[in-house]
């Protein structure tokens, strides 16, 4: 099992460029998440998907769009990148809490994005 | 709005010491609290998850406690080792997941 994989690992963009961050999980989890991590601020939730076909905004959704392509894949798109979006982006997945199932989130290795 | 605070922001200890990391949160209406470890340049690894109905969880040299009424959790690390050096984050799950900024731990040989 690869767990949660993210591509690319690093990316440099110019202001106004667009790009899509890819995330895939092979644990058959229903829920998937996108976070950003900035120095001294911890992780903040951008968007999440409770199940295939559904997406919801998190704490900081402005400037981002997401697509839950299928159960395995959840992508994050920056339509017009801004320097304020320079950050480390993490994808995570989990199984929703059911009786006897722990709601542990599993994280990918992250994508380090710099917007000039 | 849930706010999660971790104190101290950084901690340096000699090998072998027992230590405590602190996490506080402002809204006690949570489903669970989770402690993660993050190594430099890496993602997060879950260490312990405490359900809101539980008081503590243990895994090896790690023990996490939860006092929901006072909005506090502690992560106790026994007999610290250089390999424990990392950033430790706590996260609380209510309507969404909120993370603290982390405590960067350095264990010196």
pLDDT the model gives residue A95 = 81
Query: In tens digits, what is the pLDDT along chain B, a chain of 109 residues?
Result: 899 999 999 999 999 999 999 999 999 999 899 999 999 888 899 999 999 999 999 999 999 999 999 999 999 999 999 999 999 999 998 878 899 999 999 999 9
The whole-number pLDDT of residue A98 equals 52
Beta bridge partners of B76: B20, B63
Report the C-alpha gap between B44 and A90 in whole angstroms: 9
Q: Reply yes or no on whether the pLDDT at A111 is more than 60.
A: yes
And the tokens for A96? 């929703």
CA distance B59 to A116: 43
**For B43, which of A59, A102, A110 is closest by C-beta distance?**
A110
Distance CA B73, CA B25 (A): 9
Residues 6 or more apart whose CB falls under 8 angstroms from that of B21 comprise B6, B11, B74, B75, B77, B88, B103, B105
Q: Which member of B43, B49, B89 has the closest CB to residue A104?
A: B49
**pLDDT for A19-71, tens place per residue?**
999 999 999 999 999 999 998 788 999 999 988 889 999 999 999 999 998 99
- A-chain residues within 8 Å CB-CB of B97? 33, 45, 105
């Amino acid at each position: 099992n690869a767990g949660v994989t993210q591509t690319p690992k690093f990316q440099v963009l110019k202001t106004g460029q667009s790009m899509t961050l890819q995330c895939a999980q092979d644990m058959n989890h229903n829920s998937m998440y996108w976070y950003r991590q900035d120095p001294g601020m911890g992780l903040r939730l951008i968007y999440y998907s409770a199940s295939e076909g559904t997406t919801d905004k998190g704490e900081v959704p402005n400037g981002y769009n997401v697509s839950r392509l299928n159960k395995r894949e959840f992508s994050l798109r920056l339509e017009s990148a801004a320097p304020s979006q320079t950050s480390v982006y993490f994808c995570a997945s989990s199984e929703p809490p059911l009786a006897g199932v722990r709601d542990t989130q599993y994280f990918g290795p992250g994508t380090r994005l710099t917007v000039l | 709005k849930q706010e999660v605070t971790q104190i101290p922001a950084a901690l340096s200890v000699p090998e072998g010491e027992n230590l405590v990391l602190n996490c506080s949160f402002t809204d006690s209406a949570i489903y669970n609290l989770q402690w993660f470890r993050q190594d430099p340049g890496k993602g997060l690894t879950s260490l312990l998850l405490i359900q809101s109905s539980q008081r503590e969880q243990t895994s090896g040299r790690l023990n996490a406690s939860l006092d929901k009424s006072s909005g506090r959790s502690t992560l106790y690390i026994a007999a610290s080792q250089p390999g424990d050096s990392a950033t430790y984050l706590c996260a609380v799950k209510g309507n969404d997941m909120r993370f603290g900024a982390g405590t960067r731990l350095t264990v010196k040989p």
